Structure 1
Amino acid sequence: MPITATILDVALERPDQPAIVGAEARLSYAQLVDDSRTMFASASSLHAEQTDPPTPAPETHGIPITAVSLTSAFETSRIIAGLAGFRAVSATIDPRWPLEHQVGVITTTGIGVVISDSTDLAEALAAAGWTGTVITAADFHARETAIDPADTAPPSVRESSEPFLMLFSSGTTSNPKAFIKTRRQYRDNVAVSSAHLEPLPGVGTLAPGPVSYSLTLYAVIESLATGGSVHVADDFDPFTMGPRIATEAITRVVAVPAVVKALAEAARRTPDHFRGLDLVVTGGANLPASIRSALADVLPDTRLISYYGAAEIGFIGDSRDGDGTWISIYDTIGVEVRDDAGIRLPDGEIGTVWIRAAACSDGYVTGTTDAQLRLPDGWATVGDQGRIDNGLLQLAGRAGDIAITGGHKVSLPEVERAFEEFDRGDPQTGRDRLGEVCAIALPDDGLGSIVALVIEPGSAEPGSEGGPLNSGAPDKAALLAHARAELAPQFVPRRFYLLDRLPRTVGGKIRRSETVDVVMSGKAQRL
């Protein structure tokens, strides 16, 4: 695994170079190496002290699992990076997940130690009969401090086949599924991102947000694996991030699209803080064109790369202009679009996207799902739908993002993208009249299903004067006229609804299936 080899090399050659930097704490490479010795000793002793330790999932090959469930991005990064040089499997669990799901993941996968400040989680695990150990971040740090470094072993480069991290799917369409990454698989992933996304030696990368997000976690790993400095933050605060970017000479940002949007807004207010940014990297395909244009308007010299990948599989390709609809596939990655029978489809037809990548995990962890990730021949899918044309890949969403209406396949994300260009401004108030939108398929006796658009009010939703819910929303005629001008007839929504708040995952992704349930229950207002 290159992360440990590089950490050791940089600690020897440039010991004072920042490795992990938080808002109020930092570790140099030399300090990270020293810190990791007592950290692993502390975690190892916690596992060893258990009289009836949980049995780790078979995919870990018997290596105990240490999980971190903290809101502190710095502390989470410190622990994950520190344990990387030892025989350990680490996991990050989002403390914002529903409590029952946290308990289910921990007990099902055989996690043995959980570093968490949540008393509710500790009590729920005890009630579930879990035999592992929960320890607070402060108590864990106290144990580290009490250990004599002379009694510890140094970190070392581990065997490439050894399990390294337990990760979880995003949970956009279902509860997150667990999977293992070996050190070789992460090494292969670093090779791809290094070739295309520029985590260069010595570069300062800002990766704001929970480290339980695979995008943030990977930014931490790739920065250390390539000899860079990773700057973390619990969230993106526009009032503090600008000064940090300027003061710390950060030139690269890795963040989710919502943070990129907030960054562009912050740069518009104080552009001097952000002029040193060379590159912004964001995950998720089909980046809204409005985000790219907003960043380009205020920071014209800052490049923006929107990559497509899946945590289970790795990096697949990226887009560097427009709305990210068409993705250039990386030269080391194989991509095919197949029908439900597994037959490869001709160019232009929508089907399931299959990927062949060296970084792909072997499969999901036993007990967390019955879904199959990877076939024996190495091809894998997470259920994304798309089409290939002229060697480029266009995504159409997941299987649940495709509607069949009157015999036509309709990509619901494509319907949503059409409203990126909708005139959202209110000339009288200057307020945003249209917030997020979600296209859904509703059952229909004649057509099988029809397309509907569910709208979340913008900043003109009911306010201090108690106006009606749709006081700031555009009328149906304007929406329909825009859809007819931008979309093929079968893609045009036949119904429009207004909903106070679209259902989302804890990471902020809209849950399409739950939106359908809300509409079908009559809780959304039809326009």
Structure 2
Amino acid sequence: MPITARILEVAVVDPDRLAIVGGDGQLTYSQLAEGSRTMFAAVDALHHAQSDSPIPAPETHGIPITAVSLTSAFETSRIIAGLAGFRAVSATIDPRWPLDHQVGVISTTGIGLVISDSTPLAEALAAAGWTGTVITAADFQAREAAVDPADTTPPTVREASEPFLMLFSSGTTSNPKAFIKTRQQYRDNVAVSSAHLEPVPGVATLAPGPVSYSLTLYAVVESLATGGSVHVADDFDPFTMGSRITGEAITRIVAVPAVVRAIAEAARRTPARFHGLDLVVTGGANLPASIRSALAEVLPDTRLISYYGAAEIGFIGDSRDGDGTWISIYDTIGVEVRDGSGARLPDGEIGTVWISAAACSDGYVTGTTDAQLRFPDGWATVGDQGRIDNGLLQLAGRAGDIAITGGHKVSLPEVERAFEGFDGEVCAVALPDDGLGSIVALVIEPDSDSGGGVGTSGTPDKAALLDHARAKLAPQFVPRRFYVLDRLPRTVGGKIRRHETVDLVMSGKAQRL
């Protein structure tokens, strides 16, 4: 169901139903529909007031791009949802990105209007010669309030092929890449998630975290497209979320695995506040089995679905037990595993995962990357590696997550999963080796309060690590070297950067055990 069609429908039949709820306020469906009129009028006037407007990326078909770069999840959600019923392309830019990257993305994609409270960003854009407009959230709200509703037009259901959102890849292996989602692609994605992830009409979904995350942003769109209420939060505070779940009658949560772990810990302290929680949906990273077990222990009646998907492609499948690495593929999605030449591999062999899905974007935005997403045969890949066995897809990481050592393919995430339960964080890497091509090494970021697998000095015990690896892994998977780093490099979203970890080891900045 298109997002605007459902917003307008609920605004008529149940006008007081909550649409968006956050720390900054709340909006009913009626308020969202009515407020969108003056919101778009203010946006449209700001774009037209420019004497030398930035030229939007060709993938937008000439539609001006409005970006939101705010820490307020409520305000970001309000603007994205409000502009959905008009000729507008919206984008969310993470204000925690490096400043030069924010400037580069805005300049390269032709974003014309940025709603941001960051003075350094405004100054950097001006210094770069960008000709668009930066406006603070407060000033934008004042412009909305100054618009006479009589001079506005109502939101409408837009053409299916019209560009809708500009999104960005996660940036795990490189800087985020921009891509466009059309309205039909989002409708197709909602159809898949509605069939499997239960965003039913009227359900209250909590989606904590920055709306610049594709997982959170999609939860906002999905909830409104299905007539639900989306409850947003700038971050996850385990001390207040329990009371929100009870007070706001939240029964469904969409969040990354780290938040699911925090939910389990918070529920252990105050279980009564979480007993109304029916379903937790998680994605964005593999779900360690320990998190599933911890949640089941304290909230045995709460179901947990770990989905697999890519923002560029859409939902692909999900796992409902274990660590989320074995995926049941949705019946409307095509999946193949191919080698480097594009030939389909037999079951059981690791290769590149290719997807056929109606929700897939057409490609990346010109100028943001040279990578190709969708190929002439209609199939697409983001470089994920995996194998198919008995009709299930097992993920093995991205292309850089596979080590070739002595002729064996080794999944580095699989090595990492073997060390789940050890204190601290680990990152498995492939290091060059003259004899074997590469060798597997494990880089450890010790927990300051660690005990298991750590010596009396606070340094991990190599012998204990090696014994553990030999007991859990096939011989070719056992790390040949172990290193320690005070802090593993991460994206702004918290994902460990494997390539940068290799660079730190090779430059001698990691301590070898």
Deviation of residue 286 (structure 1)?
3.0
Letter in 1 for 2:496: I
Query: Structure 2 matches for 1:504-515, cutoff 5 A?
Result: 504-515=490-501
What is the match of residue 3 of structure 1? 3
Say if 2:446 and 2:460, in contact at 8 Å, map to a contact too: no
Q: Say which SS state the counterpart of residue 428 (structure 2) adopts.
A: strand
What is the match of residue 120 of structure 1? 120
Say if 2:338 and 2:353, in contact at 8 Å, map to a contact too: yes
Letter in 2 for 1:447: L
Deviation of residue 461 (structure 1)?
6.4
Deviations 1:54-92, CA, capped at 9 Å, x for gaps:
000000000000000000000000000000000000000
Deviation of residue 284 (structure 1)?
3.2
Q: Does 1:436 align with 2:436?
A: no
Letter in 2 for 1:139: D
Of 437, 451, 463, 1:477 maps to 463
Deviation of residue 113 (structure 1)?
0.1
What is the match of residue 255 of structure 1? 255
Query: Structure 2 matches for 1:67-466, cutoff 5 A?
Result: 67-420=67-420, 422=421, 424=422, 434-460=423-449
Deviation of residue 478 (structure 1)?
0.8
Deviations 1:155-202, CA, capped at 9 Å, x for gaps:
110000000000000000000000000000000000000000000000
What is the match of residue 522 of structure 1? 508
Say if 1:351 and 1:385, in contact at 8 Å, map to a contact too: yes
Q: Say which SS state the counterpart of residue 55 (structure 1) adopts.
A: coil
Deviations 1:9-58, CA, capped at 9 Å, x for gaps:
00001100000000241000000011111100000000000000000000
Deviation of residue 460 (structure 1)?
2.0
Gap change, CA 1:25 and 1:210, over 3 Å in 2 = same
What is the match of residue 479 of structure 2? 493
Structure 1 distance, partners of 2:220, 2:118, is 24
Say if 2:257 and 2:285, in contact at 8 Å, map to a contact too: no
Deviation of residue 285 (structure 1)?
5.0
Structure 2 distance, partners of 1:326, 1:461, is 30
Say if 1:461 and 1:469, in contact at 8 Å, map to a contact too: no
Deviations 1:356-402, CA, capped at 9 Å, x for gaps:
00000000000000100001221000000000000000011011000
Say if 2:202 and 2:228, in contact at 8 Å, map to a contact too: yes
Structure 2 distance, partners of 1:470, 1:237, is 33
Say if 2:256 and 2:285, in contact at 8 Å, map to a contact too: no
TM value normalised by structure 2: 0.98
Letter in 2 for 1:174: S
Q: Say which SS state the counterpart of residue 518 (structure 1) adopts.
A: helix
Say if 2:24 and 2:74, in contact at 8 Å, map to a contact too: no
Deviations 1:297-332, CA, capped at 9 Å, x for gaps:
110100000000000000000000011121000000
**Any gaps of 5 or more consecutive residues in structure 1?**
425-433, 463-467
Letter in 2 for 1:56: P
Deviations 1:131-157, CA, capped at 9 Å, x for gaps:
000000000000000111111111110
Letter in 1 for 2:468: H
Deviation of residue 349 (structure 1)?
0.3
Q: Say which SS state the counterpart of residue 129 (structure 1) adopts.
A: coil
Deviation of residue 522 (structure 1)?
1.1
Letter in 1 for 2:226: T
What is the match of residue 56 of structure 1? 56
**Any gaps of 5 or more consecutive residues in structure 2?**
none
Structure 2 distance, partners of 1:222, 1:260, is 20
Q: Say which SS state the counterpart of residue 400 (structure 1) adopts.
A: helix
Structure 2 distance, partners of 1:191, 1:259, is 26
What is the match of residue 465 of structure 1? none
Structure 1 distance, partners of 2:71, 2:504, is 31
Say if 1:442 and 1:450, in contact at 8 Å, map to a contact too: yes
Say if 2:445 and 2:488, in contact at 8 Å, map to a contact too: yes
Structure 1 distance, partners of 2:256, 2:271, is 20
Say if 2:404 and 2:437, in contact at 8 Å, map to a contact too: yes
Deviation of residue 409 (structure 1)?
0.5
What is the match of residue 428 of structure 1? none
Say if 2:384 and 2:398, in contact at 8 Å, map to a contact too: yes
**Worse-superposed segment, 147-156 or 470-479:** 470-479
Say if 2:337 and 2:353, in contact at 8 Å, map to a contact too: yes
Structure 2 distance, partners of 1:262, 1:471, is 29
CA RMSD in angstroms comes to 1.2
Deviation of residue 498 (structure 1)?
1.1
Deviation of residue 470 (structure 1)?
7.5
